Amino acid sequence: MILIADSGSSKTDWRLIDDSNQIHQCATQGFNPYFQSSDDFSSIIKDELLKSFSSVNLNTTIQIFYYGAGCGTDAKKEIVKLALKKEFQDSTISIHSDLLAAARATCGNKNGLVTILGTGANSCYYDGINIVENSPSLGYVLGDEGSGAHIGKTFIAAYLNKELPEELSKRFYQRFQLNKDDVLDTVYRKPNPNRYLATFSKFVFQNLKEPTMVNLVANCFEELFEKHILKLANHHALPLNCVGSVAFYYSNILRAVALKKGIVMGTIIESPIAGLSLYHQENKTLE
């Protein structure tokens, strides 16, 4: 059996390919080892994943491929591995970054440029086997340009600084009833501020008839290209493949900015899990 996970800060998509090649699927809350512990992840597995797959016999050796946000270092991978090993003791476990998931899902065994644009952001050059060049995202405080958190942060800062059109500001307040103290308290005192900031990206998307919102998103994507994409090797020779809800829903603006920067766009998908399932079905001896 093969168990595949694509985990972001907000949501984790799971696919279980059983011995008869039947695919079972479910989604749980997200996990990021930078913000949560191994015990937190273990609880998610027990309370959500195992219950969702209760009809499947999991008392067997399972080959687990976990791709996750925050899994770029051995220390963070170990946090994930401890939780998985606790619940799947006889299984083989491979932990990889969510960026490799995006690369394998969109490029397969071919080379290309890859960017994740979801709650966070990350970009790389993939040679068809490995990520050979990574432009670091630096997280939601110092970077994550073009991500949901970045768009949300840019929007809420403009709102609090009274830089938005009056009608748009009224519309936002009527919906969220937020003031400066509410926002600052959540961002600086409560867990998962990146997820919180990313929620405002949805409001931006719902108001794209406003030129101010189109320009805001375009400016965020401009920063993504200038700080990351244009610094990658072969950036004018290879297509840029994108994964994530922000890339998917803002694809028209993303393509327009890419055209302006001389970048050819490739595949844009909301989630890599289907592509990952196909990849592992075709590469069953992979570790």
In 3D space, the residue among 272, 281, 279, 214 whose CA is nearest the CA of residue 97 turns out to be 272
- 55 three-class SS: coil
| 11-20, 48-57, 220-229, 256-265: least confident range | 48-57
Q: In this structure, are residues 46 and 9 in contact, taking their beta carbons and an 8 Å threshold?
A: no
Query: In terms of pLDDT, which residue wins out, 55 or 228?
Result: 228
Residue 284's pLDDT band (cuts 50, 70, 90): low
- Category of 169 on φ-ψ map: left (φ > 0), alpha (ψ -120 to 50) or beta: alpha
Q: In this structure, are residues 240 and 249 in contact, taking their beta carbons and an 8 Å threshold?
A: no
Average pLDDT, stretch 156-183?
90
Mean confidence (pLDDT) of the chain: 88
Residue 140's pLDDT band (cuts 50, 70, 90): low
In 3D space, the residue among 250, 262, 183 whose CA is nearest the CA of residue 221 turns out to be 250
- 217 three-class SS: helix
Question: Architecture of 2-102+272-282 per CATH?
Answer: 2-Layer Sandwich (3.30)
| 53-57, 73-77, 85-89, 143-147: least confident range | 53-57
Q: What pLDDT shows up at residue 286? A: 58
Paired residues of 269 in beta bridges: 243
Say which amino acid occupies 112: G
pLDDT tens digit string along 34-73?
Answer: 788 888 888 898 899 888 888 777 777 789 999 988 887 8
Q: What pLDDT shows up at residue 139? A: 67
- 121 three-class SS: strand
Quote the Cα angle for 197-201-205, to 5°. 170
Report d(CA 104, CA 101) in Å as an integer: 5
In 3D space, the residue among 72, 102, 67 whose CA is nearest the CA of residue 243 turns out to be 102
Average pLDDT, stretch 169-187?
88
The full DSSP string for 60-98 is S--EEEEEETT-SSHHHHHHHHHHHHHH-TT-EEEEEEH
In 3D space, the residue among 279, 105, 6 whose CA is nearest the CA of residue 115 turns out to be 105
Its pTM surpasses 0.85 = no
Q: What pLDDT shows up at residue 87? A: 83
pLDDT tens digit string along 4-39?
Answer: 999 877 789 999 988 888 888 899 988 888 788 888
Report d(CA 80, CA 67) in Å as an integer: 10
